[in-house]
Chains A and B, each alone.
Chain A
Amino acid sequence: GENVEQHPSTLSVQEGDSAVIKCTYSDSASNYFPWYKQELGKRPQLIIDIRSNVGEKKDQRIAVTLNKTAKHFSLHITETQPEDSAVYFCAASKGGNMLTFGGGTRLMVKP
Chain B
Amino acid sequence: DAGITQSPRHKVTETGTPVTLRCHQTENHRYMYWYRQDPGHGLRLIHYSYGVKDTDKGEVSDGYSVSRSKTEDFLLTLESATSSQTSVYFCASSDAGLPQYFGPGTRLTVL
Residues of A within 8 A of B (CB): 1, 4, 6, 32, 34, 36, 42-46, 49, 89, 91, 93, 95-104
**Least Cβ–Cβ distance between B43 and chain A, in angstroms:** 5
Give chain A nearest CB distance to B93 CB in angstroms.
Answer: 11
Q: Find out whether the CB atom of A103 lies under 8 angstroms from the CB atom of B48.
A: no
Contact of A43 among B41, B50, B94, B103 (CB under 8 A): B103
Tally of B interface residues using CB under 8 Å: 25
Query: What residues make up the interface of B, taking CB atoms closer than 8 Å to A?
Result: 1, 31, 33, 40-45, 48, 50, 58-59, 90, 94, 96-105
**Total cross-chain contacts (CB, 8 A):** 58
**B99 x A44 contact (CB < 8 A):** no
Check B99–A46 contact: CB distance below 8 A.
Answer: yes
Given A89-B42, A103-B40, answer yes or no on A49-B104 (Cβ-Cβ < 8 Å): no
Contact B43 A89 (CB under 8 A): yes
Docked complex Cα distance between A97 and B104 (Å): 20
| Cβ-closest chain A residue relative to B50 | A97
CB distance from B106 to the nearest CB of A (A): 11
**In the complex, are the beta carbons of B42 and A102 less than 8 A apart?**
yes
Q: Are B59 and A1 in contact (CB under 8 A)?
A: yes
B62 to A: closest C-beta gap in Å: 16
Which A residues are in CB contact (< 8 Å) with B45?
A: 98-100
State the Cβ distance, A14 to closest chain B Cβ, in Å: 26
